[in-house]
Structure 1
Amino acid sequence: MKRLLTSIGVAVLALAASVLVAVAPAEAAVGLRISGTDIVEANGQKFVMRGVNHPHVWYTGQTSSFANIKAAGANTIRVVLGSGKRWGPSNDVANVITLCKTNKLICVLEVHDTTGYGEEGAAASLDEAVNYWISQKSALVGQENYVVINIGNEPIGNVNASQWTAATVAAIQKMRTNGFQHLIMVDAPNWGQDWQYTMRDNAQTILNADTQRNTVLSIHMYAVFNTATAITDYLNRFRTNGWPLVIGEFGWRFNSNEVDHETILAEAQARGLGYLAWSWSGNTDPILDMALNFDPAQLTTWGQRIVNGANGLKATAKEATIFGGTSSPSPSASTGPSPSASPSASPSASPSPSRSTGPSPSASQGGRSCSATYTITNSWPGGFQAEVKVTAGSSAITGWAVNWTFANGQTVTQAWSATVTSSGAAVTARNASWNGSLAASGSTSFGFLASWNGTNAVPAVTCTAG
């Protein structure tokens, strides 16, 4: 869960060469397991998590969310549970697993009570979290094909983060000693963000502690990861060292200081990394809700990006083969991050019902054509957010330009995934370097923020193919 970090001087540190410790051969893992840097199923098929977090312990009646999250395209759900130290106890683990399996979702189960231990006085220790898992063992044994155990959420705060290493080693070993054969997930300290690099610099020690070599590391990306450089540098360190990693939580850039979610999504897709976005609904800070009031018909801007975005769930998720999934989705996304900025929306704004134009008339160049649809996705007093979807015609195109004229004095203030220029009320948006080439009937989208006052009519748009 997102936490405000104060007085943090985040510096990118040089990583010393890792000294690998000789270890005994690993015991054979069962069910979901680690192979190199990948998560694979029991049949050896690579599985890339694409999913969201669901705050189950606080909203135990919202069981329809499992089906709604599946319908949104997810192949994984990270379920918030409580050990009883601070929340819960969650004694409905068997039912949660059944909900996951019924809806063909891999189930990542996490104890949330550990959040910020050492800084948050009410938090549980990792050892206490392990005791909870032992108490639920009868519901978990035999579910190794379907369940990942995330021992404790963000288990250390910003106070004495170095204690994380020994505590995590002990927790993994206690899980194995007590017979758990599941894939284990461990979160970073610093409220999950690892800005002091404790997890990064001790990753091999953690992996070596698991006799089954079946542990995946999890980074949570919020305001510490607000630039593409911070994100890619961190991910590169893990790739270079061959350490398995997932992005277990992340938010979005609703203001300029927040996480660069566009880079996270693009890099996760390019690298084959799993991601689990925070969160479906029910946040005390509703800017992080994907579905207002748990209603899948009311996706927020954040929800639209995770569900329907170019690197989102519907475009990139593949159902686990244990549930019958066989084919990969057709990628419609770029494989690298967009060089342009992500949007910044008013934190106090409530999304208004979206309004859109139908597909624009298409203009052709040498037989190539395209069309565009303009949609207002969010609106607040004095400002709004819009998205324009560009679709190629019956032939592939190598570039596009979209034009419209504002009728009510609106002004574009920021844009992403396109170069937008204005001359009075007339606006032209041209493709970025990475999204101009579209296959026949292929599509991409760009967005922008703009000001308005009084009236905000949806303009007619035209698209010209290059």
Structure 2
Amino acid sequence: MRAQAPPSSLTRPVTVAAVLLGMFLSCLALTSPAHAAPTGFRVENGRLLEASGNDFVMRGVNHAHTWYPDRIGSLAHIKAKGANTVRVVLSSGDRWTRNDTADVANVVAQCKRNRLICVLEVHDTTGYGEQSGAVTLSRAADYWIGVRSALTGQEDHVIVNIGNEPYGNTGYSAWTADTKAAIRKLRDAGFGHTIMVDAPNWGQDWAFTMRDNAASVLAADPDANTVFSIHMYGVFDTASEITDYLNRFVAAKLPIVVGEFGHDHSDGNPDEDTILAVAEQLRLGYLGWSWSGNGGGVEYLDLVTDFDPDQLTGWGRRLFDGANGIAATAEEAAIYSSGGGDTTPPTAPGTPTASGVTSSSVTLAWGAATDASGVTGYDVVRIGGGTETVATSTAGTSATLTGLAPSTSHTFAVYARDAAGNRSPRSGTVTVTTSPGGTPSACGVGYRVTGSWPGGFQGEITLRNTGTQPVDGWTLRWTFPDGQRITSLWGGTATQSGSDVAVTAAPYTATVPAGGTVTLGFTGTRGTSNPSPTAFTLNGAACSVS
């Protein structure tokens, strides 16, 4: 997602030179260099094809995995809405917590399990040259090389989007050379995947750097297997701008997708109806921003509220269920249909049984599933206002779940998965009620704002057990006085309804010994003022506030 409005409109006069340039680009695009035989997705004659030759058109959304790693279950919800593709936000570790090889492998497995094509992108490049801390495309390429073992052999299922919006509005003329070099670095490292590259100018290419140099970038790819991604926000606020931009790529036989777009933005009001209509007319892919978890004043771009698939926003209803939307136009990748490899799921596991129930944990055991190619593991899910994966077991048919809320009924089920990424039908369910976590005889809360910026802030909460008995499992509740909303939290899991917040303990903060403390940190949105909450309760008991 882009973070800053561009300084100028997309529209500019079409000159004779521009027409001649378009003709030149068409010719150049048709003259592809000799390149390696595809091992998965490939670009041919301006189209994205699967290895089988199936013409694949992306229809999907973006998911902010690197900021919400506990929401990996959202991929199942995205698939259930009809998507065939998900673009997953990752971090190289330069600006946010690095998604390591094991995590990337799990993301790919979850995509395959849910029969989604996985576009993986590094977000740390966003706005390079203008955004503090942003890194180069070369640095992003180094990250991909570092996690290559998770991607080798996945060319049928994964597209590598080198870096998100790799230039802001400063220094973007270097985009062409830097993009070519990053592609070459990945090819030299052995990557055979289709590579996706984002436009500069915060992804919106208002200076046409990507449009006017795309043919030379494709020609510089030894595999001729690069797709171009335009992000359409406020720059693309008229039908003529959208139609002209996309048609120029199609006429030049250069592969283009709308890698991000929204129905509104701080830099202007994009014409989402035209984006959807023209993409469908030209059979071009699109990926809406974004499933859930937006903050910093762009919460309106959430497709669902609080990651709940049953709470589609207006934007979500438009993208999934509206004219030319995902439900009406998405076609599943052929790799997942008959003839595309093993698509037979395992049998359902046995209904789980529960033992060792405490205020914050339970051990589940279940009967083994069967599969012709072998079961590789099981996913335990909690069923409530959506289905949430709470444990993954790759060995054995039992799992101990921790960090549960005390005095609460929890319903669990199990899925099996095989080596091809197929997921079984769901097992039967078991409902467990955790024991009381204990009401503290006394508790205290310290609340402070540790940083703020226009529209947002960072806070810290110190929870003190000032009583004489330990607290095993807890829920802390408070009400924000001026409509503040939590966008991310560490040390627990936050749920918010209006101004009312409830935070349940994480496994590593669940026990608060007598006289002990735990600390929570969070980021949130705010209005002009940012007054502190005045009352907190811990497992129903009022706490002193300092």
TM, length-normalised to structure 2:
0.58
The partner residue of 1:17 within 1, 11, 20 is: 20
Aligned to 1:240: 251
- Checking the alignment, whether the CA contact within 8 Å between 1:76 and 1:107 is kept in structure 2 is yes
Aligned to 2:351: none
Structure 1 residue identity aligned to 2:288: A
2-structure distance, mates of 1:325, 1:191? 40
Aligned to 2:286: 275
Structure 2 residue identity aligned to 1:218: S
- Residues 13, 308 of structure 1: alpha-carbon distance in 2 compared, 3 angstrom cutoff: same
- Checking the alignment, whether the CA contact within 8 Å between 2:47 and 2:253 is kept in structure 1 is no
Structure 2 residue identity aligned to 1:83: S
Deviation string for 1:352-410 (max 9, x for gaps)? Answer: xxxxxxxxxxxxxxxxxxxxxxxxxxxxxxxxxxxxxxxxxxxxxxxxxxxxxxxxxxx
2-structure distance, mates of 1:182, 1:7? 35
2-structure distance, mates of 1:260, 1:283? 20
The partner residue of 2:217 within 188, 196, 206 is: 206
SS at match of 1:236: helix
- Residues 82, 267 of structure 1: alpha-carbon distance in 2 compared, 3 angstrom cutoff: same
Cα displacement (A) at 1:13: 4.5
Aligned to 2:59: 50
- Residues 194, 163 of structure 1: alpha-carbon distance in 2 compared, 3 angstrom cutoff: same
Aligned to 2:5: 5
Aligned to 2:318: 305
1:134 counterpart = 2:145: yes
Cα RMSD after superposing both structures: 1.6
1:194 counterpart = 2:194: no
Aligned to 1:29: 38
Cα displacement (A) at 1:9: 4.5
- Checking the alignment, whether the CA contact within 8 Å between 1:74 and 1:314 is kept in structure 2 is yes
Aligned to 1:290: 303
Q: Quick check: which has more Rg, 1 or 2?
A: 2
Deviation string for 1:163-215 (max 9, x for gaps)? Answer: 10000000001110000000000000000000000000101111001111100
Comparing 272-281 with 237-246, greater Cα deviation is found at 237-246
- Residues 131, 230 of structure 1: alpha-carbon distance in 2 compared, 3 angstrom cutoff: same
- Residues 325, 289 of structure 1: alpha-carbon distance in 2 compared, 3 angstrom cutoff: farther
SS at match of 1:61: helix
Structure 2 residue identity aligned to 1:311: N
- Residues 42, 24 of structure 1: alpha-carbon distance in 2 compared, 3 angstrom cutoff: closer
- Checking the alignment, whether the CA contact within 8 Å between 2:234 and 2:265 is kept in structure 1 is no
1:39-438 pair list within 5 angstroms: 39-91=48-100, 92-253=103-264, 257-284=268-295, 285-324=298-337
2-structure distance, mates of 1:130, 1:320? 27
TM, length-normalised to structure 1:
0.68
| Number of equivalent positions | 326
Deviation string for 1:330-371 (max 9, x for gaps)? Answer: xxxxxxxxxxxxxxxxxxxxxxxxxxxxxxxxxxxxxxxxxx
SS at match of 1:216: strand
SS at match of 2:70: coil
Aligned to 1:366: none
Cα displacement (A) at 1:76: 0.2
Identity %: 54
1:445-460 pair list within 5 angstroms: none
Aligned to 2:500: none
SS at match of 2:66: helix
Cα displacement (A) at 1:88: 2.2
Structure 2 residue identity aligned to 1:300: T
- Residues 108, 289 of structure 1: alpha-carbon distance in 2 compared, 3 angstrom cutoff: same
Cα displacement (A) at 1:23: 5.8
Cα displacement (A) at 1:37: 1.6
Cα displacement (A) at 1:12: 2.1
SS at match of 2:20: coil
- Residues 83, 259 of structure 1: alpha-carbon distance in 2 compared, 3 angstrom cutoff: same
Which consecutive residues of structure 1, in runs of 5 or more, have no partner in the other structure? 327-466
SS at match of 2:133: coil
Cα displacement (A) at 1:75: 0.2
Deviation string for 1:16-52 (max 9, x for gaps)? Answer: 5244556642221220111212111111011100000
Aligned to 1:331: none
2-structure distance, mates of 1:39, 1:9? 29
SS at match of 1:130: helix
1-structure distance, mates of 2:273, 2:266? 13
Deviation string for 1:36-80 (max 9, x for gaps)? Answer: 121111110111000000000000000110000000100000000
SS at match of 2:159: strand
- Checking the alignment, whether the CA contact within 8 Å between 2:121 and 2:162 is kept in structure 1 is yes
SS at match of 2:119: strand
Structure 2 residue identity aligned to 1:17: L
2-structure distance, mates of 1:220, 1:192? 5
- Residues 13, 109 of structure 1: alpha-carbon distance in 2 compared, 3 angstrom cutoff: farther
- Checking the alignment, whether the CA contact within 8 Å between 2:125 and 2:165 is kept in structure 1 is yes
SS at match of 1:167: helix
1-structure distance, mates of 2:129, 2:235? 20
Cα displacement (A) at 1:257: 3.2
- Residues 170, 320 of structure 1: alpha-carbon distance in 2 compared, 3 angstrom cutoff: same
SS at match of 2:172: coil
1-structure distance, mates of 2:125, 2:47? 26
SS at match of 1:249: strand
Runs (4+) of structure 1 exceeding 4 A deviation are 20-23
Which consecutive residues of structure 2, in runs of 5 or more, have no partner in the other structure? 340-546
Cα displacement (A) at 1:322: 0.7
- Residues 139, 159 of structure 1: alpha-carbon distance in 2 compared, 3 angstrom cutoff: same
- Residues 122, 72 of structure 1: alpha-carbon distance in 2 compared, 3 angstrom cutoff: same
